[in-house]
Amino acid sequence: MKKHIIIIGGGFAGLHIIKSLKNDPAFKITLVDKNNYHFFPPLIYQVATSFIQASNISYPFRKLIANYKNIHFHMGSLLKVNPEMKTIETDTGDLTYDYLVLALGTESNFFGMENVQKCALPMKNIEEALYLRNHMLLNLEEAARNKDIKSAQRLQNVVIAGGGPTGVELAGMLAEMGKYIAEKEYPEIKLSLSSIYLIDALPSLLSPMSKMAQETAYNKLKKLGVKIHLSVSVKDYVDNKVLLSDGNAIETETLIWTSGVIGREVPGLPSESISKGKRILVDAFNKVNHVENIYALGDICLQFSDENFPKGHPQLAQVAIQQGKNLGANFKRMENSEKLKPFKYNDKGSMAIISKFNAVVDLPKFSFNGFIAWLTWLFIHVIPLVSFRSKFRLVLDWFRLFITNNPSIRLILYPKKNASNR
């Protein structure tokens, strides 16, 4: 009898289990995801800023698994796990498993601020990125028509909450696009009125990275005109005003939220299996604590068994990729009654792009920045894309856009039946 493995979530972890077990006669695998496509989250901000097409970083699951005889796709959202019955409930039907893998990832953490959750703009998926793109383009059009200086300034101001890699990369991208594009295409707008604010509660940008990376990011963004506020947090968002912990307020209609994440809720798991940030506690083999035959991978899991990371692994793509490969190999070991291999994270470093031809790279033994770091960033971010066509198109688009400084996909699209009524 084939063992049935259900994987919830088609991100890095889920796909690497699939790659490990594709066409293996011992396993039947069902991939469950609320979307019908895989996408590459580290480049989502480039979709939001109209720099690249969403199709450059996404790929349909069914096309991906078309040649894998033992892989099936079920489109649906997880509603509940029933560990004792070995079943899951989704909004499109129930499924039975032998092994269950939870790789749902995370969602934006608004830290209990209701107004921020209601009005801020996150970028955790393709839909949110496209919504943000529409929002910013519509604001520019309204600012171009607006004769009231105060209103025009509010429309043009952008506040980014979160000084990690996503916030830094987004701030740099917006600053450069304002310099190269807005000045030419929006002559009605007084760019002197617009500002990009980058807010972070910690005393430095890129806090997990090296001192060199932090200082480089700070200096380069300041040179681009980004207004950086450190050791300051967002406390509320009321009447188009971002209220800060230092008592100041910034008028804006665009608050972009990159300030934190929290695990997606998995109803049915015992409370003892859940830790801080709703992350799922797992053992050295990524098995969920206090239940049998259920595993958790990637950003949603918290593992204390790795001696090099006693407080848990960073929520990075490389962790998810390596965990997926390790669990896939362990499933084979289970079937062959072999000793399982505990997960050990091989830290390959971290990086962030700051501006055109400038990035920072932290490797385990040394760090560097500048043009070579920028090329390294480009190369590393192309490798994980799931199809050669996606890689080829993205590289061509990147080099064309970096040379011309003129992305041409700034389309305001309304994906609704009543779009004509707007």
All structural domains of the chain with their residue ranges? 3-34+76-108+262-335, 114-259
What is the SS3 assignment for 110? Answer: coil
Element (H, E) at 141: helix 126-145
By CB atoms closer than 10 A (0-12, 13-18, 19+), residue 368 is middle
pLDDT confidence of residue 414: 67
pLDDT beyond 80 at 421: no
pLDDT beyond 70 at 164: yes
Of the listed ranges 132-136, 181-185, 352-356, 406-410, the least confidently predicted one is: 406-410
Residues 286-315: pLDDT tens digits? 999 999 999 999 999 999 999 999 999 999
Tokens of 229: 């506020």
pLDDT beyond 70 at 168: yes
Q: What is the mean pLDDT of residues 394-408?
A: 75
Which range is most confident: 148-157, 177-186, 323-332? 323-332
- Fold: same for 3-34+76-108+262-335 and 114-259: yes
Residues 364-381: pLDDT tens digits? 889 999 999 999 988 888
Query: Over pLDDT 90: what percentage of the chain?
Result: 77
Question: Which residues, other chains included, contact 321 with Cβ-Cβ below 8 Å and sequence gap of 6+?
Answer: 12, 13, 16, 384
Element (H, E) at 24: none
When the pLDDT of each residue in the chain is averaged and rounded to a whole number, the result is 92
CA atoms within 13 A on the CB side of 263: 22
User: Which of the four pLDDT bands, split at 50, 70 and 90, describes residue 329?
Assistant: very high
Contact between residue 83 and residue 292 where contact means Cβ atoms under 8 Å apart: yes
Cα separation of 409 and 406, whole Å? 9
User: In the block, which residue shows the tokens 């293996």?
Assistant: 24
Task: Please count the other Cβ atoms lying within 10 Å of the Cβ belonging to residue 110.
Answer: 20
Query: In the CATH hierarchy, which fold is given to the domain comprising 114-259?
Result: FAD/NAD(P)-binding domain (3.50.50)
User: CA–CA distance from 388 to each of 382, 394, 409, 411 (Å)?
Assistant: 10, 10, 22, 26
Tokens of 225: 């005109």
Which residue would you say has higher pLDDT here, 44 or 382? 44
pLDDT beyond 90 at 269: yes
Q: What is the mean pLDDT of residues 233-244?
A: 97
Which residue would you say has higher pLDDT here, 387 or 258? 258
Contact between residue 241 and residue 250 where contact means Cβ atoms under 8 Å apart: yes
pLDDT beyond 70 at 254: yes
Query: In the CATH hierarchy, which fold is given to the domain comprising 3-34+76-108+262-335?
Result: FAD/NAD(P)-binding domain (3.50.50)
